[in-house]
Structure 1
Amino acid sequence: MGQSIGRWIRGAALLPVALTAGVLAYAQEDDVATRLAALEETVNGSASAYVDNSYLFLIGGIIVMFMAAGFCMLEAGLVRSKNAAMQSTKNVLLYAVAGLMFWVVGYNMAYPGTTILNGLLGVTPGPWSGGDLSVMSEAGYAPASDWFFQMVFVATAASIVSGTVAERVKIWPFLIFTAILTAVIYPIVVSWEWGGGYLDTVWSFSDFAGSTLVHSVGGWAALVGAIIIGPRTGKYIGNVVHPMPGSNIPLAALGTFILWFGWFGFNGASQLAAGTVADINSVAQIFANTNMAAVGGTLFAMVTTAVLYKGKVDATMVFNGALAGLVSITAEPLTPTMGQAVLIGGVGGVLAVLTVPLLDKFKIDDVVGAIPVHLVCGIWGTLIVAATNDGATYLGQAVGVGLTGVFVVLASTVVWLALKFTIGVRCSLEAEEMGLDKAEIGLEAYPEFSRG
């Protein structure tokens, strides 16, 4: 009896210890379960962000790709009817050439593994490759989604050149120039900033979506081409400018709206991420600022043309005013307020209008107004970044603009002159008068107009 009582007493004494051990064990199991759940949530969140980021690139890339149609419609509407089929064909071909060259050499030059000359030249050779499809990339998005998004950007730069030199450039030399621009010239400039090269590391240069890296590159190349090829026959006789109106203003208006639409992908997807609340809020703000810059460019251009041309509002100037506003905000579409975005775009619209007669004064024939829109407003948009982005300086921005201009002008001059003195770049006078639809591709855009 005494032994039984003793065992009960010892058991009662150990009961708190057993209960404590049980509670601790349960707590440990609960803690492990919580940790596992948190880990699973983290993994799922990481995968979700990976998918969201990749979709941002893919959807943004599709939208930017549609800008190729916008350039095509704008240019086809602003050239004379005898050159509309040629201009349409050039735009389809340049997109294909740009895609091929950016895959073969351009991407790896723009985003090199190694650089030389203090980051001025990437030395990663060969075609781009996407790697293992079964794993998540450490970059946080599908590799091919990034390649696709970057590829449609390079086609934009080539489209800028197409419009400026329209109605007198032959198709084969133009496509050769496009190949070199998209394989070498554009990727080298991109590597200086987006590829982490010289401008990024030394000068803290900032160009969010490409006012300089895309638009000014195309604008400088177009300017050099216009000077070397020369103006259209009859455009300038003495000091008199002879207007050569476009054939289809509604088509040009459609092209403007397509480009306006495409710019949401151009700027919005350049946030490069959509997997967090902050990222998607930033994308939304970029959309809003992009739209308001175009609004400012359109309205300021309208008022400027009304003042300069005795109350008349020039439709083509209004269209280019919208595009000028878009180019101006592209270098920094996130940090400005919406009011600042309107002003930045508005100044761009005024600059575009004022630059047109300046080009005519120097007898530089820009058929669609690409130089005022993409070059002049690209410079303006890049410089004004320092006003709203604390990470940029006016000096750094100016160095980026200047270095890009010098390099692209020199490189484009070499290529255009090499083509001029070998296969020739300009069509014959007879072909120009006939129209390049017949002379270059043998197919007219509006055949019934010429049959009487």
Structure 2
Amino acid sequence: LVKIIVDVAVATIAYFFIGYPLAHKVCFIKPAADLVADQGFELVRFFFLLTFAACISAIVSGGVAERMKFKPYTTAGFFLAGVIYPIFEALIWGERWSPAFQGWVEKTFGAPIHDFAGSMVVHGLGGWIALPAILVLGPRMGRYIRGKSKPIPISNIPYLALGSWILIIGWFGFNVMSSQSIETISGLVAVNSLLATAGGLIGGVLFGKNDPGFIHNGALAGLVAICTGSDIVNPIGAFIIGLVAAWIFIKAFIWEQEKLKIDDVLGVWPLHGLNGIWGGIAAGIFGQKALWGLGGVSLISQIFGAVLTIVFALVTGFILYKLLDIVFGLRLSEEEEFQGSDLSIHKINAYPEDIFKV
């Protein structure tokens, strides 16, 4: 939790001074009288888009939990919010390169890359950047013993449920306000987000065998996947997108953990990475007028955007975390990891009862 709150501070500084100006050709280092022009719209826009930028390192944190040093983690957060995410944002959304790049995509494939609220630009990018970080770090102590999987139980199911509920509520602001204008707020976005959540929950029940972790994450999988097309797909399509997203998360999480032996603690690669890609492609399918969508989207463009997301994330992720591993060393020592990051980093136990454990 300390990592996440510090992430917010680091991302705010990096995105305010470097990231947002890089993506949108706006500089905030000027007199306040200039900043309040047009009722301070650019400041409000920065405030909203900062939530997207800060998401990247928050996504990564779920995959590298319990074994990563604090200093390289926060350093990575600075570069993610200040450089890596803004470069990709500038290509798809930003004023710096998006007009030329999206114009080329439209000319080549028939439509620009559509990503209304960030299935690919935010979640896909974050999930696929997390994968190199997880691989460079390696699994937690005791997670795999002589090639056999030894699952580490969830520490607190009620907190997992509470976190899922809070995210679901907050996601409506995340998606609906992605229009960035009061005049263009669409009830379709809200209803599609709700139907995708329902699809994800039902999928979690059907495919997750009543496992509470799969059920609550199924809702989040549906929300990740609907971000891209929430403004153009039919609510029935949104439900299907959410249902499929839950199936993808559950099957990929088990495959990742048990077959690939990748210790992705919260399953951020299948949850955000794979479902971010599914959401981008699904918008190209269910956004078509033939399937009661609003149209104006190309499946080929969406597939191109998905491939671009994966390649950009993997390349930048491996470079960033490998360099940080060389410079700082990413991983806690065996003794520190055995003690737990609460005690080894912050010198305090998370729960009072831990003090009395022998």
Q: Same fold (TM over 0.5)?
A: yes
Identity of paired residues, percent?
A: 35
Tell me the distance in 1 between the aligned counterparts of 2:130 and 2:355: 31
Unaligned runs of 5+ in 1: 1-87, 114-125, 307-312
Within the candidate set 265, 269, 275, 1:377 is matched to 275
Tell me the distance in 2 between the aligned counterparts of 1:272 and 1:110: 16
Aligned positions of 1:277-296 closer than 5 A = 279-280=184-185, 282=186, 284-296=187-199
Larger Rg: 1
Amino acid at match of 2:273: L
What displacement does 1:219 show? 0.5
Amino acid at match of 2:351: Y
Alignment of 1:317 onto 2:317: no
Within the candidate set 110, 115, 120, 1:207 is matched to 115
Aligned positions of 1:252-267 closer than 5 A = 252-267=160-175
Map of 1:23 onto structure 2: none
Map of 2:291 onto structure 1: none
In structure 2, relative to structure 1, the CA distance for the partners of 1:398 and 1:112 (3 Å cut) is: farther
What displacement does 1:136 show? 2.6
RMSD over equivalenced CA pairs, Å: 1.7
What displacement does 1:205 show? 0.6
Amino acid at match of 2:87: I
Is contact 1:293–1:326 with CA below 8 Å preserved after alignment?
A: yes
Aligned positions of 1:227-242 closer than 5 A = 227-242=135-150
Aligned positions of 1:27-426 closer than 5 A = 88-112=1-25, 132=34, 135-136=37-38, 142-196=41-95, 197=98, 199-203=101-105, 204-275=112-183, 279-280=184-185, 282=186, 284-306=187-209, 313-360=210-257, 361-387=259-285, 388-389=287-288, 390-426=295-331
Is contact 1:324–1:352 with CA below 8 Å preserved after alignment?
A: yes
Tell me the distance in 2 between the aligned counterparts of 1:134 and 1:318: 45
What displacement does 1:323 show? 0.5
Tell me the distance in 1 between the aligned counterparts of 2:323 and 2:302: 32
What displacement does 1:112 show? 2.9
Within the candidate set 339, 343, 350, 1:438 is matched to 343
What displacement does 1:133 show? 5.3
Tell me the distance in 1 between the aligned counterparts of 2:233 and 2:58: 28
Q: Deviations over 1:345-400 (max 9, x none)?
A: 11001000000122121111111111111000000000111121522212211111
In structure 2, relative to structure 1, the CA distance for the partners of 1:147 and 1:354 (3 Å cut) is: same
Tell me the distance in 1 between the aligned counterparts of 2:188 and 2:29: 33
Amino acid at match of 1:201: G
What displacement does 1:404 show? 2.0
Tell me the distance in 2 between the aligned counterparts of 1:429 and 1:381: 39
Q: Deviations over 1:50-71 (max 9, x none)?
A: xxxxxxxxxxxxxxxxxxxxxx
Unaligned runs of 5+ in 2: 106-111, 289-294
What displacement does 1:224 show? 0.7
What displacement does 1:433 show? 1.0
* Range moving further from structure 2, 176-185 or 333-342: 333-342
Is contact 1:160–1:370 with CA below 8 Å preserved after alignment?
A: yes
Q: Deviations over 1:150-191 (max 9, x none)?
A: 111111121100110001101110111111111110000011
Tell me the distance in 1 between the aligned counterparts of 2:126 and 2:33: 31
Is contact 1:103–1:128 with CA below 8 Å preserved after alignment?
A: no
Tell me the distance in 2 between the aligned counterparts of 1:272 and 1:142: 10
What displacement does 1:128 show? 5.9
What displacement does 1:327 show? 0.3
In structure 2, relative to structure 1, the CA distance for the partners of 1:199 and 1:349 (3 Å cut) is: farther
TM-score, normalised with respect to structure 1: 0.72
What displacement does 1:134 show? 5.8
Is contact 1:328–1:381 with CA below 8 Å preserved after alignment?
A: yes
What displacement does 1:90 show? 0.5
Q: Deviations over 1:377-434 (max 9, x none)?
A: 0000001111215222122111111122212211111111111112100001111111
Is contact 2:342–2:348 with CA below 8 Å preserved after alignment?
A: yes
Q: Deviations over 1:107-144 (max 9, x none)?
A: 0111137xxxxxxxxxxxx656576256436xxx7221
